[in-house]
Amino acid sequence: MSKQRSSLALATLILLTAACSPPSPVPPQPDKIVRTRLAGDGEAAAARRYSGEVRGRYETVLAFRVPGKLMQRMVDSGAAVKSGQPLARLDATDAVLQSAQAEVQRGLAEAELMRYRELRAKNFISQSALDAREAAYKSAAAQAGLARNQSGYMTLNADRPGVVAAVLAETGQVLAAGQPVFRLVPDGDREIAISIPETDMANHKVGDLAQITFWAGEGKPLAGRLREIAAAADPATRTYAARVTLETTDTRLPVGQTAAVAFVTKAINEGLTVPLSAVFQKDGKPALWVVAADSTVRLRPVVVQRYSDSGAVLGAGIASGERYVEAGVHKLVAGEKVRLAAPAAAEK
């Protein structure tokens, strides 16, 4: 009995000692690593940058004036041609026969006219009969001239110096009169053809300044200006075709070269653009997690002017240069201390 009492007393002492001892310390949780960005850093330029290609301001579609079978094509796409240079030929067999037939008819009408003139000089026929032969000869001569012209149309020549931008017909194809065969870009002014999305149409107008850089080469950006914007959107892409003309008219650029166009006149008038992943919805209203100087995050309401493919354009709520969280915003708590991920190359 005394043994049981001693064991009970020992167990009670152990429990009391455990209850009075301080709890084991909980290891501190490491600060979350978040990816951030400075407001206004590189966003305005990205929202107005479009890819395009070099095109001629004026482009000519070349075609045969007569129908026929394409027998020979002498140039390929991208070839530089001179004025008057032959580009393609049709099968001239039928044209030669028609020309020969018309020439025979003209010779016969001429011989008839000579005989009628002799008869009229001897007063064997009336003047009206001679006039009819005069008219028949003129008609036959006109038909012969037309047939000769059509024989000359069997060869398609370049009407001016330039570059063949596209080949639209191949050897062996039967062509109708006026069917396009080549697209020729004459030597002269070059432009950049771009497509503007519907969401960006409100930001551009004819005359806006632009900087043009070319993916091939490391030359300085060229100055340009928005010359025209299509009035209707493309039914397939829902974008508006636009042309940017170069300020330097003596620049000779290869047709089809890829270029990037950045419009620079809107940056000071628009709000800051942030990625859509940075916008946090609180009670149905947009907000951003702003990183304070002590590395804690604070939720700040913002005003979104509009949403676009490049992000959300803010009208108020954050100033340029402030740091905000751009990803993982749903995992943060107000006042939480965070660690910044390695800065992007643009911020180094």
Q: For residue range 72-110, what is the model confidence (pLDDT) as tens digits?
A: 999 998 888 999 999 999 998 888 888 899 999 999 999
pLDDT, tens digit, for every residue of 289-328? 888 877 888 888 888 877 776 778 777 777 777 788 877 7
Compute the half-sphere exposure of residue 32: CA atoms within 13 Å on the CB side of its CA. 18
Confidence at residue 347, expressed as pLDDT on a 0 to 100 scale:
47
Query: What pTM was estimated for this model as a whole?
Result: 0.53
Mean pLDDT of the chain: 80
Give the model's pLDDT for residue 4: 57
Query: Nearest to residue 140, comparing CAs of 186, 169, 171, 102?
Result: 102
Give the pLDDT confidence of 182-201 residue by residue, as tens digits.
Answer: 999 888 778 899 999 888 88
**Closest-CA residue to 154 (of 229, 72, 58):** 72
Q: CA angle, corner 173, sides to 254 and 63, nearest 5?
A: 50
pLDDT at 23: 55
For the record, the structure tokens of 110 come out as 């001429």
Residues 148-177: what's their mean pLDDT?
90
List Cβ neighbours of 273 (8 Å cut-off, separation of 6 or more): 43, 44, 46, 47, 308, 310, 311, 312, 313, 314
Q: What is residue 174's predicted lDDT score, i.e. its pLDDT? A: 93
HEC secondary structure over the chain: CHHHHHHHHHHHHHHHHHHHCCCCCCCCCCCEEECEEECCCCHHHHHCEEEEEEEECCCEEEECCCCEEEEEECCCCCCEECCCCEEEEECCHHHHHHHHHHHHHHHHHHHHHHHHHHHHHCCCCCHHHHHHHHHHHHHHHHHHHHHHHHHHCCEEECCCCEEEEEECCCCCCEECCCCEEEEEEECCCEEEEEEEEHHHHHHCCCCCEEEEEECCCCCCCEEEEEEEECCCCCCCCCEEEEEEEECCCCCCCCCCCEEEEEECCCCCCCCCEECHHHCEEECCEEEEEEECCCCEEEEEECEEEEEECCEEEEEECCCCCCEEECCCHHHCCCCCEEEECCCCHHHC
Nearest CA-CA partner of 278 in 241, 337, 318, 321 = 318
Rounded Cα distance between 95 and 326, Å, is: 72
Cα–Cα distance for residue pair 306/273, rounded to 1 Å: 10
List, in order of start, the domains of the chain with CATH numbers: 32-43+270-347 (2.40.420.20), 49-57+188-263 (2.40.30.170), 60-91+154-182 (2.40.50.100), 92-152 (1.10.287.470)
Best-predicted range by mean pLDDT (23-37, 137-151, 240-254): 137-151
Q: What is the pLDDT of residue 240?
A: 93
CA distance 279 to 326: 8
Distance CA 211, CA 49 (A): 9
